[in-house]
Amino acid sequence: MYVSLKDVAARAGVSFQTASKVLNGHSRVASPSTRERIQRAAAELGYVPNAMARGLVRQASVTIGVLADDFSDQAVSQFVLAAQRAAASHGHGALISSVHADIDAELAVRKLLEYRVDGILVAAPSLEDEPQLGDALRGPLPVVSINRIHGGGVPLIGSDHALTGTLAAQHLLDLGHRRIGTVIGPRGRQVVRRRTRGFRDTLRAAGRPLPERRIAEADWTYDGGWAATHRLLDTDPAITAVFVQNDVMAMGALKALHERGLRLPADCSVVGCDDLSFAAYLVPPLTTVRIPFEETGERAATLLLDRIGGKQIPTRNLLPVELVVRESTTSP
């Protein structure tokens, strides 16, 4: 069905090994005329090299594996897309594998190993520190991850979470807010701890410690953000500003605040986090801390390819975050 090197060689009247060399650009191997003959034969027959055969002998599939938990999540999909493009621009394919309730990490990783991917990119925040995933990933294969991997030794890439919290806090303090609440993600997570710490430390340094009652935990979802915001204002109605640890929950928060009849941002300011594409189109447009997902994906792929190429890469890679001021924040 596919035309092979042998077919091309036959048409050009050379051995298939010679055709291989010419088609791979080894220059000092054939006369210009033979070279031209081979190229032409390949083009005429529509020769497409067989990556599996090549991978077999070269002992490298020229493919990376991408392990994600939920890449219908916009943050993850932006990351994956950018990573795929970066990989492609270096000639590498991207094989995706997803982990979710039904399918355990071990199986997903094994699938990737069967295809002999040259390295794995992990974007599975929900599997942070999961021993099973850590075990599956242990081994000689290069891995770069966006979330902590149990057992360590895996280079991380991400953004400066503490700074994220700091930027949000500083912005609200600068505006003159004094009673500030926050809706955080699941407490166990690194991201959450770091963002919260940056946020809390900044408030404390300004003489405005963050009491526990002004912290509401949620699960990153619209619904969770919505409910948490209601809880927050139920326990402390005097709050004039809220930092929500991702944009999706911030959207829920906005809805909750609307429901309470508050005028936004006059009665309550909201700072989100992520800067997803919809943030600018919320009502009011959301002030948020931008997390560079695309840059992260691109960088992650580049780092992974570097490691595959044998280079040493840093074990922690932080990309800068940035406050994007829109209209959901104002002075109290």
Partner DNA sequence: CCTCGATGAGCGAACGTTCGCCTACTGTGC
Partner DNA sequence: GCACAGTAGGCGAACGTTCGCTCATCGAGG
Q: Which helix (DSSP H) or strand (DSSP E) does residue 64 occupy? A: strand 63-68
Of the candidates 39, 45, 54, 306, which one interacts with DNA according to CB under 7 A?
Answer: 54
Instruction: Kindly state whether residue 261 participates in binding its own copies, applying the rule CB under 8 A.
Output: no
User: Which of 262, 213, 168 has the alpha carbon at shortest distance from 254?
Assistant: 262
The binding track of 124-143 with respect to its own copies, each residue x by CB under 8 A or -, is ----------------x---
Residue 123: which H helix or E strand, with range?
strand 119-123
In sequence order, what DSSP letters do the residues of 167-220 get, joined into one string? HHHHHHHHTT--SEEEEES-TTSHHHHHHHHHHHHHHHHTT----GGGEEE--S
- The nearest distance, CB 28 to DNA, in angstroms, is 6
* Residue number with CB closer to its own copies (198 or 298): 298
Q: How distant, in Å, are the alpha carbons of 205, 215, 316 from that of 197?
A: 12, 12, 19
Scan residues 12-41 and list those touching its own copies (CB under 8 A). none
Kind and range of the H or E element at 233? helix 222-235
The only residue of 11, 18, 298, 302 in contact with DNA, by rule CB under 7 A: 18
Q: Which of 40, 43, 44, 50 binds DNA (CB under 7 A)?
A: 50
Cβ-Cβ contacts under 8 Å for 161 (sequence gap 6 or more):
190, 191, 194, 195, 198
Residue 100 as a binder of its own copies (CB under 8 A): the answer is yes
Instruction: Tokens for 18, please give them.
Output: 């010679």
| H/E run at residue 82 | helix 74-89
Q: How far is the CB of 56 from DNA (least distance, A)?
A: 4
Quote the tokens at residue 205: 């340094």
Q: How far is the CB of 198 from DNA (least distance, A)?
A: 48
Total interface residues for its own copies by CB under 8 A: 53
- CA dist 64 and 270 (Å) reads 39
Q: How far is the CB of 63 from DNA (least distance, A)?
A: 15
Among 36, 40, 44, 58, binds DNA (CB under 7 A): 58
Report how far apart, in Å, the C-alpha atoms of 26 and of each of 19, 20, 22, 59, 90 are: 10, 9, 6, 19, 19
Residue 179 binds which entry of DNA, its own copies, none, with Cβ cut-offs from 5 to 8 Å by kind? none
The reply on whether position 267 binds its own copies by CB under 8 A is no
Residues that bind its own copies (CB under 8 A): 1-2, 48-53, 55-56, 59, 61, 63, 66, 70-72, 74, 77-78, 80-81, 84-85, 88, 93-98, 100, 103, 110-111, 113-116, 140, 222, 226, 248, 251-252, 254-255, 258, 277-278, 280-281, 283
Residues that bind DNA (CB under 7 A): 2, 4-6, 13-18, 20-21, 23-24, 28-31, 33-35, 47-50, 53-54, 56-59
